[in-house]
């Protein structure tokens, strides 16, 4: 993975699709938070009946496992996009929030 994420580009692409489909009015903070929880649960679906060893094997598997890993990757992407959009509509500076959390964690721990 690269060292930085082009968040502006991700957000721009998200908004571009939203405009094409006229979805902007749906993207309220409440709806986005709910969508985030749905996507995270989609992710959990891959793990709910597996123990850590089985998850490990699923990740290592070549051909057979890669379709599922692709699916997990797609869900992580959805979570990332909704997270960036949610921060944007709430006017929350995510970088600052991260810096504050990191500083707080360093103090606590």
Smallest gap from Cβ 41 to a copy of itself, in A, equals 3
Give the integer Cα–Cα distance in Å for 83 and 97: 13
Q: Which of 24, 57, 61, 74 binds a copy of itself (CB under 8 A)?
A: 74
Q: Which two tokens stand for residue 12?
A: 């721009």
Is 31 an interacting residue with respect to a copy of itself (CB under 8 A)?
Answer: yes
| Alpha carbon 48 to its chain's center | 19
Q: Which of 15, 24, 28, 85 binds a copy of itself (CB under 8 A)?
A: 28
Q: Which of 24, 26, 61, 65 binds a copy of itself (CB under 8 A)?
A: 26
Tell me, by CB under 8 A, how many residues bind a copy of itself.
72
Smallest gap from Cβ 73 to a copy of itself, in A, equals 4
Exposed, middle or buried, 17 (CB in 10 Å: 0-12/13-18/19+)? exposed
Is 61 an interacting residue with respect to a copy of itself (CB under 8 A)?
Answer: no
Measured from the Cβ of residue 7, the count of other Cβ atoms closer than 10 Å reads: 16
């Amino acid at each position: 993975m690269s060292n930085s994420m082009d968040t502006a580009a991700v957000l721009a692409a998200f908004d571009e699709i939203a405009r094409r489909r006229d979805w902007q009015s749906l993207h309220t903070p409440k709806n986005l938070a709910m969508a985030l929880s749905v996507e995270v649960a989609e992710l959990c679906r891959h793990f709910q009946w597996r123990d850590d060893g089985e998850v490990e094997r699923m990740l290592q598997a070549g051909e057979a496992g890669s379709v599922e890993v692709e699916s997990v990757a797609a869900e992580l992407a959805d979570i990332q996009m909704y997270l960036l959009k949610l921060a944007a509509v709430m006017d929350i500076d995510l970088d600052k929030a991260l810096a504050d959390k990191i500083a707080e964690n360093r103090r606590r721990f």
